[in-house]
Amino acid sequence: MRYYSMKNTVDSLVFATNNAHKLAELRAIVGGRYNILSLSDIDCHEDIPETAPTLQGNAEQKARYIKEHYGYDCFADDTGLMVDALDGEPGVYSARYAGPGHDSKANMELLLHNMEHETNRKAHFSTVIALIQGDETRFFEGRVDGVILREPCGKDGFGYDPIFEPEGRGVSFAQMSADEKNAISHRGRAVAQLMDYLLNK
């Protein structure tokens, strides 16, 4: 195990994610205000278990795994896309909607197929962040409402971004710049609260 000299100092935190897109978004939102370490920065190259039935449970499970196995203060995010006409699906199972693995194209295709005859296109993204510092655990949440488009639009972003249009915007998340998405997104809103806590506590 490699230990950094800045381990657990005020301005350094591990983000417990295997998703490179999430890490890039996080670093863009946080800017220079905190030093965000990735899992590879701490020599963690394993798939962290994610077996809870809720976003909050999964976020805490991922952060606790890193705290217990690697000793670092850290945070994790769990995100889901909740579609009204599908009774909140894919929700907490968004990553594996089309089966095991993290195939975003297959997930979007299945979702569009299941929504083919639906006129109610309302949906929202939710993110829960679990922060573990010492023996304290805190949660931060963000949500953005919008609609599921009839086909993928745009090339930026990741995951379900090409088929999600945030309310009143007229374009999908995948047609926005990173800054535009981060200013209104589920993750942007949850991270704003996280930063507010970290910088003002």
Classify residue 158 by its DSSP letter.
-
Which position among 33, 69, 102, 150 is part of the footprint of ligand ITT (CB under 6 A)? Answer: 102
The residue count for the chain: 201
Classify residue 96 by its DSSP letter.
G
Find the Cα–Cα–Cα–Cα dihedral 75, 81, 82, 84, rounded to 10°: 160
- Residue 145, SS3 per DSSP: strand
Which position among 14, 36, 63, 95 is part of the footprint of ligand ITT (CB under 6 A)? Answer: 95
- Residue 47 known to be catalytic: no
Task: Note whether 159 binds ligand ITT by CB under 6 A.
Answer: yes
The whole-angstrom separation of Cα 78 and Cα 56 is 7
Q: Which two tokens stand for residue 22?
A: 């999430």
C-alpha triplet 77, 64, 190: angle, nearest 5°: 25
Task: Note whether 78 binds ligand ITT by CB under 6 A.
Answer: yes
Name residue 74's amino acid: C
Query: Among 1-9, 17-25, 134-142, 147-155, which window interacts with ligand ITT (CB under 6 A)?
Result: 17-25
Task: Note whether 189 binds ligand ITT by CB under 6 A.
Answer: no
Task: Note whether 175 binds ligand ITT by CB under 6 A.
Answer: no
Q: How far is the CB of 128 from ligand ITT (least distance, A)?
A: 9
Name residue 188's amino acid: G
Catalytic residue (choose from 73, 77, 78, 161): 78
Task: Note whether 188 binds ligand ITT by CB under 6 A.
Answer: no
CA distances from 84 to 53, 104, 113, 132, 189 (A): 18, 20, 15, 32, 21
Which position among 12, 41, 50, 180 is part of the footprint of ligand ITT (CB under 6 A)? Answer: 50
Which position among 13, 14, 17, 29 is part of the footprint of ligand ITT (CB under 6 A)? Answer: 17
Q: Which two tokens stand for residue 111?
A: 């979702």
Query: Among 4-12, 72-80, 143-151, 193-201, which window interacts with ligand ITT (CB under 6 A)?
Result: 72-80
**Whose Cβ is closer to ligand ITT: residue 161's or residue 165's?**
161
The residue ranges that bind ligand ITT (CB under 6 A) are 17-19, 22, 50, 77-79, 94-95, 102, 104, 107, 157-161, 173, 185, 187
